[in-house]
Chain A
Amino acid sequence: MVKPALDLAVVKRLRQLNQPGQPDLVTEVLVLFRADAPARLAAINDAVHSGNGPALQRAAHALKGAAGTIGAHALHDLCKILEEMGKTGVWGGASAAVEETHREYAQLCEEIDHLL
């Protein structure tokens, strides 16, 4: 069985922040995540292809924060590795990490679609 991309315990905690009369926070946050993530993944791709360390660090950092907040732990950890690569300029395994990041994101999207 594949390990879930999204930690439902985190989703549950987010749902507890809902307030009466307000839109569902989980829906709002997951929609925001889905809206922002593709541009950040594209920026990660571009940065790795062009060997732009600071750009990789920025894009990976941004995606890492959002992933951590919604409980996408594996994606968070992959972004952390990419961020570190961008920061140190040590690129060994960068392409593989980007591929893995895209796979993880695809699985995450499937799980998010089930929730929305």
Chain B
Amino acid sequence: MSDVPILVADDDSVSRTVVAAMLRKAGYQVQLASDGDQAWAALQRPTAPSIAVLDWMMPGIDGPEICKRIRQKEMASPTYIILLTSRDASADIVAGLRAGANDYVTKPPNEDELLARVSVGARVVGLQHALADRVRRLEEALSNVKQLQGLLPICSYCKRIRDDQNYWQQVESYITVHSGVQFSHSYCPDCYEQHVKPQLDALDCEIDDSDGQTRA
């Protein structure tokens, strides 16, 4: 839990300091922003925190606007956003959730409630990271697979295969290109009798002949 960085953005220094103290005591790494522009800049960095606690009403870009912008971005692991709102503002809460916030905490925040909601966020972020990692590995694996499927036009006589570019290829070169298979060359018993043995016999004859010539 302790290595999860959290952004706390609030223009009210009192609230910001107290929220940060609650999170630090629970072992979180806290980054601070004192207005919406600073918060947005912090969330753009490559090392942006995965969880953001944002005040609803801030100078610059307000909390819901940051939610909207974050949700418009394509991210493998989107930021988990908790909005800080007034206790009496249920319309704000609805608008904030609609804008893309994951959760909200009313001000002044209760320590136990804040930490419980943040730990839900940390769990979601952990799952998202694991999922994104898995998808990445699957995509990698998929790019290595060259599966053979469908109909292959093959010459009835010479057994060459016509590829997508209309070239006729030897079976072995076609399969090497379209699969993970590599050939190790050998011969079957029938072909031994039909092709290999006659060649060996012919070779023997040649050797016998040349021996005879030497001796002569």
Residues of A within 8 A of B (CB): 13-14, 17, 19, 25, 28-29, 32-33, 35-36, 58, 61-62, 64-66, 68-70, 80
Residue contact B25 to A17, C-beta cutoff 8 Å: yes
Q: Of A29, A32, A36, A69, which one neighbours B107 at CB under 8 angstroms?
A: A69
Whole-angstrom CA separation of A61 from B15 in the bound complex: 12
Please classify the interface of chain A as helix (H, G, I), strand (E, B), loop, or mixed, using the class held by over half of its residues: helix
Binds A, one of B16-24, B65-73, B168-176, B177-185: B16-24
| Interface set, chain B 1-49, CB cutoff 8 A to A | 11-15, 17-18, 21-22, 24-25
Please classify the interface of chain B as helix (H, G, I), strand (E, B), loop, or mixed, using the class held by over half of its residues: helix
Q: Note all chain A residues with C-beta closer than 8 A to B198.
A: none
Residue contact A66 to B14, C-beta cutoff 8 Å: yes
Whole-angstrom CA separation of A13 from B114 in the bound complex: 14
Q: Of A14, A17, A25, A65, which one neighbours B12 at CB under 8 angstroms?
A: A65
For B, the interface residue count at a CB cutoff of 8 angstroms equals 17
Residue contact B22 to A17, C-beta cutoff 8 Å: yes
Beyond A32-B14, A58-B57, A69-B14, list 14 extra A-B contacts (CB 8 Å): A17-B18, A17-B21, A19-B21, A25-B18, A61-B57, A61-B86, A62-B12, A64-B86, A65-B12, A66-B15, A68-B108, A69-B15, A69-B108, A70-B14
Known A19-B25, A32-B13; judge A65-B108 contact (CB<8 A). yes
Is residue B139 contacting chain A, with contact meaning CB distance below 8 A?
A: no
Rounded to whole Å, the gap between the CB of B159 and the closest CB of chain A is: 78
The residue on A at minimum CB distance from B12 is: A65
The residue on A at minimum CB distance from B18 is: A69
Residues of B within 8 A of A (CB): 11-15, 17-18, 21-22, 24-25, 57, 86, 88, 107-108, 111
Q: Note all chain B residues with C-beta closer than 8 A to A65.
A: 12, 14-15, 86, 107-108
Q: Of B11, B18, B86, B88, which one neighbours A14 at CB under 8 angstroms?
A: B18
